[in-house]
Amino acid sequence: MSNPPADSNDPTSHALCSRVTELRKKHKLTLDQLAAASGVSRSMLSQIERGQANPTLTVTFRIAQAFGMSIGELVDQPWQSSTIEVVHGEDKSNLFRADKECQIRTLSPLHIEKNIEFYEVRIAAGSSLTSAPHFEGTKELLTITRGRARVVSGDTNCELDQGDSAHYRGDLNHSIENRGDDELVCYLVVTSP
């Protein structure tokens, strides 16, 4: 069964075409890779991205699953219908990492695909958060709200106290080390090209 051609004036088709393209590029996937992950043919994905096809519910579901989201998350943009969106502190789904050494909580709405991410980071005394290089051009801005830290990015490092901020390359090996006797609490903004 073939899908009817998309109506170029249909805002829903346009939103889906833009969303699939945006997600594929954000995840650094080729059309072939997305086709393999979703079970949707490369040609159908190409037509969807160009706004030349209206995918069936099954096709839309497969694409959403490939990105680890529901159909609603794929096609809905709830931030457009409300001027305020709340990320609740007690919502455990916002925990990116939680163990005895480190807790990372995302402060950005999870459904928004973007090139800026905002986190609260808590690191236990004597522990550190070490990261491999992110995509080229990634930068990090760290602000200490409680404790003392040492930040390492590549071959450079600096010491930070409460209230200090550091901006550094995230596309090199980098780490945040707790240099105090108590829990380190800081806020991290990650920007990528």
Predicted local confidence at residue 107, as pLDDT: 87
* CATH number 3.40.50.300 given to 92-191: no
Cβ pair 60, 19 in contact under 8 A: no
Q: Which of 26-30, 80-84, 119-123, 189-193 has the highest mean pLDDT?
A: 119-123
The predicted model gives 67-91 an average pLDDT of: 71
The domains of the chain are located at: 11-76, 92-191
The crossing angle, in degrees rounded to 10, of helices 42-49 and 31-38 is: 120
Residue 31: helix, strand or coil by DSSP? helix
Predicted local confidence at residue 75, as pLDDT: 75
What are the pLDDT digits (tens) for 148-162?
999 999 999 999 999
What are the pLDDT digits (tens) for 7-65?
445 556 677 888 898 888 888 889 999 999 999 999 999 999 888 888 888 888 899 88
Arch. (CATH architecture) of 11-76: Orthogonal Bundle (1.10)
Enclosing H/E stretch for 45: helix 42-49
The predicted model gives 84-91 an average pLDDT of: 76
Predicted confidence (pLDDT) at residue 76 exceeds the cutoff of 90: no
Cβ pair 33, 63 in contact under 8 A: no
The Cβ-side half-sphere exposure at 89, using a 13 Å CA radius, reads 2
Residue owning tokens 């990528």: 192
Residue 56: helix, strand or coil by DSSP? coil
Predicted local confidence at residue 131, as pLDDT: 93
Residue 49: helix, strand or coil by DSSP? helix
Predicted local confidence at residue 13, as pLDDT: 66
What are the pLDDT digits (tens) for 96-143?
888 999 999 888 776 565 678 899 999 999 999 999 998 899 999 999
Cβ pair 50, 6 in contact under 8 A: no
Cβ pair 104, 119 in contact under 8 A: yes
Predicted local confidence at residue 122, as pLDDT: 97
Q: Do domains 11-76 and 92-191 have the same CATH topology?
A: no
Strand order across the beta sheet in which 184-191 lies:
95-98, 102-106, 116-123, 184-191, 139-146, 165-169
Does residue 187 or residue 77 have the better pLDDT? 187
Predicted local confidence at residue 127, as pLDDT: 97
Residue 21: helix, strand or coil by DSSP? helix
159 beta partners: 150
Predicted confidence (pLDDT) at residue 73 exceeds the cutoff of 90: no
